[in-house]
């Protein structure tokens, strides 16, 4: 007995092969009666839809590309998992690419993914706005943590949560602060720095700006060393990995946290909860960021001419053990 195909199913059902394909790929476009008939015959014949064959009929790869700026940063694993789970529910797989903090690599990878994926998510891109626009031309694309007016985007807005962090420190008696800035090419770093500056100006407190530092553990240790050259009693680090490097540098120099310095991170990665002392930080809604990005990209794939969508998800301040009173009691 020959292997069942969409054509043999179509003949049995008296419909076109395209209709059979739609039953398995776009069932909402087929009437319930035809859908039930086709699926019943498919089960009877033992037909299993083949992704490659579906692609030939639909022109879809059923795969989305995901480019991350640095896969070694603990911010990304939970985000990747959220994106993968949401894509799976939408019958798509994910092709993951690490740009290794290189703007040129981001653009190069977008070009290489073209024709191999249905669309691409670029997470925390380092490329210029012009380069991103050019690279994504004609390709469904969503940017994570980077807003551009003419490309869809999903961002975590930490402004309110960072204000809450500042108020938390201020209530603990801190009046001299340090801002440990993140990578100069990072939109998120610029946004977070802007929020901290706004809070400090509004409160009339002293703010010393240091950096930029790479968003790595080593970059954090360098930031910690720079912090000790100031009289700041509390520091805002760009992200949790940087903050953990700061904690390590201070511990190595015999500086007590939070007794002599308080440190705040951002993102609330797993490391923030396992380091000692546990890190005061801002929680990023990873599940929401990933799921929303996939949902927006799916809509862009299905309706390429639609207007770009822009979504902002708020971060939430979380107080832990790396912040405390000043002067310490």
Compute how many other C-beta atoms are within 10 angstroms of the C-beta atom of residue 164. 18
The pLDDT of residue 316 is 97
Name the DSSP letter for residue 104. H
Residue pair 74/270 in contact (Cβ under 8 Å)? The answer is: yes
CA angle 299, 150, 128 (to 5 degrees): 120
Q: What is the pLDDT of residue 55?
A: 60
Q: Could you tell me which CATH number the domain at 6-58 has?
A: 1.10.260.40
Quote the pLDDT of residue 54.
Answer: 56
pTM score of the predicted model: 0.80
* Contact assessment for residue 63 and residue 26, using Cβ atoms and an 8 Å cutoff: no
What's the CA gap between 112 and 117, in Å, rounded? 10
Structure tokens at 213: 């530092």
Q: Is 159-284 a domain of CATH 3.40.50.2300?
A: yes
* Cα 226 to Cα 209: distance, rounded to the nearest angstrom: 10
Domain range list for the chain: 6-58, 63-155+286-312, 159-284
Q: What is the CA radius of gyration of the chain?
A: 25
Q: What is the pLDDT of residues 16-71, one digit of tens each?
A: 988 988 888 777 789 999 989 998 998 898 887 766 555 655 567 889 999 999 99
Predicted pLDDT at 322: 99
Whether the domain at 63-155+286-312 and the domain at 159-284 fall into the same CATH topology: yes
Per-residue pLDDT of the chain (329 residues; tens, 9 = 90+): 578 888 899 999 999 988 988 888 777 789 999 989 998 998 898 887 766 555 655 567 889 999 999 999 999 999 999 999 999 988 889 999 999 999 999 999 999 998 889 999 999 999 999 999 999 999 999 999 999 999 999 999 999 999 999 999 999 999 999 999 999 999 999 999 999 999 999 999 999 999 999 999 999 999 999 999 999 999 999 999 999 999 999 999 999 999 999 999 999 999 999 999 999 999 999 999 999 999 999 999 988 888 999 999 999 999 999 999 998 65
With 0-12 / 13-18 / 19 or more C-beta atoms within 10 angstroms meaning exposed / middle / buried, residue 102 is middle
**Residue 118 in tokens:** 């249905």
Q: What is the pLDDT of residue 51?
A: 63
CATH 3.10.20.30 assigned to 63-155+286-312:
no
Residue pair 309/295 in contact by the 8 Å Cβ criterion: no
């Amino acid at each position: 007995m020959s292997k069942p195909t969409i054509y043999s199913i179509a003949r049995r059902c008296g419909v076109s092969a395209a209709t059979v394909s739609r039953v398995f790929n776009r069932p909402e476009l087929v009437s319930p009666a035809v859908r039930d008939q086709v699926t019943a015959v498919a089960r009877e014949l033992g037909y299993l839809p083949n992704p490659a064959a579906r692609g030939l009929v639909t022109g879809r790869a059923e795969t989305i590309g995901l480019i991350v700026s640095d896969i070694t940063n603990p911010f990304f694993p939970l985000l990747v998992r959220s994106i993968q789970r949401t894509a799976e529910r939408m019958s798509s797989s994910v092709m993951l690419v690490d740009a290794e903090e290189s703007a040129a690599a981001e653009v190069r990878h977008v070009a290489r993914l073209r024709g191999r994926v249905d669309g691409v998510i670029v997470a925390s891109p380092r490329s210029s706005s012009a380069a991103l626009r050019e690279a994504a031309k004609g390709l469904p694309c969503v940017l994570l943590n980077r807003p551009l007016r003419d490309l869809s985007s999903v961002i975590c807005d930490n402004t309110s949560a960072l204000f809450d962090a500042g108020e938390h420190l201020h209530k603990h008696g801190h009046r001299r602060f340090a801002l440990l800035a993140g990578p100069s090419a990072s939109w998120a770093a610029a946004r977070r720095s802007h929020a901290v500056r706004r809070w400090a100006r509004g409160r009339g407190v002293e703010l010393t700006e240091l950096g930029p530092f790479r968003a790595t553990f080593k970059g954090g240790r360098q930031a910690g060393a720079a912090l000790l050259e100031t009289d700041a009693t509390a520091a805002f680090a760009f992200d949790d990995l940087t903050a953990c490097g700061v904690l390590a540098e201070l511990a190595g120099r015999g500086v007590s946290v939070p007794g002599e310095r308080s440190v705040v991170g951002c993102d609330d990665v797993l490391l923030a909860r396992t380091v000692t002392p546990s890190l005061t930080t801002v929680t990023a809604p990873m599940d929401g960021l990933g799921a929303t990005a996939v949902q927006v990209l799916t809509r862009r794939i299905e309706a390429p001419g639609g207007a770009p969508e822009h979504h902002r998800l708020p971060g939430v301040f979380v107080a832990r053990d790396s912040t405390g009173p000043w002067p310490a009691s």
